[in-house]
Structure 1
Amino acid sequence: MNKDVNQLPQKASPVLVKQANIFADLPEKLIEDFQQEFQLNEWNKGEYINSDILTKRFFVMIEGQLEIKQANPETGREATLDMLYAGDCFDLMVLLDDQPHDVIISPLTQVKLLSVKLSTMRHWLWTYPEFNQQFMPYLAQKMREKEHQASNLILHDVPTRLSRIILEHINKIKFYAGAKEEEHKHHLVNGLNDETLARMTGSVRQVINKQLQLWKKQDTIDKKRNQLIIKDLEALEKEAKYTHNLANTAISNLKPNNGSNKPTNTG
């Protein structure tokens, strides 16, 4: 059943608004003013969301995991454009050019979001310099992510692309299960099955599964259904072939220091 937005009875609070990266450091008074315009929405896993809603409202993720993808109608092949987590916003493209965006919005888990009228979001950007200063670095970050995504597809093989994707998303999925003394070396990537990883990597499920099984045999990872447990972070980083610090910044705080430090979630 088609559904644009499922509105919950709760109203957005300043605490919820501050969970978004682009609002987090704004003055409290401004956040309180902004929160009056937000609605609290909830989408269920696998639910169909009409992309027309992106021309009407701007969304902020506060909980869950959501995939933005496109499909070739002739072949049925799909490609992931973006993977969104708590704190992320969308759709930046429609916000900037006011044109429809033909995408598939796919909740991978139950998702909770804040939404605001697109016209209101634009008004905020043009009216409040302090908000614009928060928004521009986030926009640049997303542009860099797209640049890395494009260059990885062209310049690197599947093992390198796959290892980079896993490393980049370790710190975005804030979850760990296991013995406390093993926390410094076990990192759980939850909810990314072989098909999803294939879309993100620009490959096919069979190739991804073969590579994951090889890493499992090498004891780099452990694979259970839709979960990847990273057992050897250094081996995965070596596979990623990073040549500069920027691409690896997101996971730099996950490395142990003489075995004593625990991973730090930087969001």
Structure 2
Amino acid sequence: MPQKSVNLPQKANPVLVKQANLFADLPTKLIEDFQQEFQLNEWHKGDYINSDVLTKRFFVVIDGQLEIKQSNPETGREATLDMLYAGDCFDLMVLFDDQPHDVIISPLTTVKLLSVKLSTMRHWLWTYPEFNQQFMPYLAKKMREKEQQASSLILHDVPTRLSRIILDHINKIKFYSGAKEAEHHYHLVNGLNDEVLARMAGSVRQVINKQLQLWKKEDTLDKKRNQLIIKDLEALEKEAKFTQALPNEPLAKS
């Protein structure tokens, strides 16, 4: 039976608000004013989050990982619309058109969020130019991501799409556990099992698993349950057919 989402009773403090990239560079006085309107929420993996909440509040992820998806009720097939990480906010569509958004909100980990009334968020955007200047580049970034996602589904095969998804995840969640001297050799990807990767790549689990096993055989990565350890980032970037190096390109050996 699905669990209910949990709203923590305390209000957000200025330090917490400043953790969100969207607000980090705002004047201190403005952050202090904003934080009085924020509520701190915590959702857990497996929680049922009614999408109606998106018509009432605007959310900013400050920790954890969240999947936004849709499903076909006739076939049961699901597709990932967006993968949200710390610093991301949602729902942009409802914010601008004030219409319901029929989506499935699926926390992949324990997720901590700041939330504010939609009307308050709109008021901030129209009233404070310094906040608008912070928000517009984020909006443009999300639009570019959607453009790339759509073009990738049409123009590229599964290995290319899958490699790009993994590299994008690494770029957003940088985490390494192991010997310091080997840090630039390994990149850890948590929380993306075969089914999630299939939804993101517009494919099916069996095809994704076959490709991951091939990369494992080629020593490009190691696969353990819901964890991928990237061992050859250069090979993955070559598969992705990127025209320029990613920000998290491996450090050169000294």
CA distance in 1, matches of 2:178, 2:102: 41
Which residue is 2:8 aligned to?
A: 8
Code of the residue aligned with 1:173 in structure 2: it is I
Name the counterpart of 2:229.
Answer: 229
Match of 1:94 in 2: 94
Contact 1:2 1:49 in 2 (8 A): no
> 1:4: how far off?
7.0
TM-superposed CA distance for 1:6, in Å, is 2.3
CA contact (8 A) 1:20 1:89 kept: no
Q: Quote the offset at 1:7 in angstroms.
A: 1.9
Deviations 1:143-185 (A, max 9, x none): 0000000000000000000000000110222321122111111
CA shift for structure 1 position 13:
1.2
- AA in 1 matched with 2:169: H
Name the CA distance, whole Å, in 2 between partners of 1:5 and 1:18.
Answer: 24
Q: Name the CA distance, whole Å, in 1 between partners of 2:168 and 2:125.
A: 29
Output the CA distance in 2 between the equivalents of 1:104 and 1:81.
10
Give the Å deviation of 1:26.
Answer: 0.7
Q: Deviations over 1:82-120 (max 9, x none)?
A: 000111100011001101000000000011111000000
Query: What residue in structure 1 maps to residue 239 of structure 2?
Result: 239
| Residue identity matched to 1:254 | E
TM-score by length of 2: 0.97
Cα RMSD (Å) of the superposition? 1.3
- 2:115 corresponds to which residue? 115
SS at 1:76 equivalent: coil
Paired residue for 1:252, among 243, 247, 254? 247
Gapped runs of 5+ residues in structure 2? Answer: none
Q: Which runs of 5+ in 1 are unaligned?
A: 261-267
Distance 1:219 1:253 in 2: 20
Instruction: Please list, as runs of the form range in 1=range in 2, the aligned pairs for 1:185-264 lying within 5 A after superposition.
Output: 185-243=185-243, 245=244, 251-257=246-252, 259-260=253-254
* Distance (whole Å) between structure 1 residues aligned to residue 116 and residue 174 of structure 2: 26
Q: Distance in 1 between matches of 2:65 and 2:198?
A: 17
SS of aligned partner of 2:25 = coil
Residue 134 of structure 1 is matched in structure 2 by: 134
Secondary structure of the corresponding residue to residue 198 of structure 1: helix
Counterpart amino acid of residue 182 in structure 1 = A
Query: What number of residue pairs does the alignment pair up?
Result: 254
Residue equivalent to 2:28: 28
SS in structure 1 of the partner of residue 174 of structure 2: coil
Q: Is the 8 A contact 1:4 1:50 kept in 2?
A: no
Counterparts in 2 of 1:175-186, with a 5 A limit?
A: 175-186=175-186
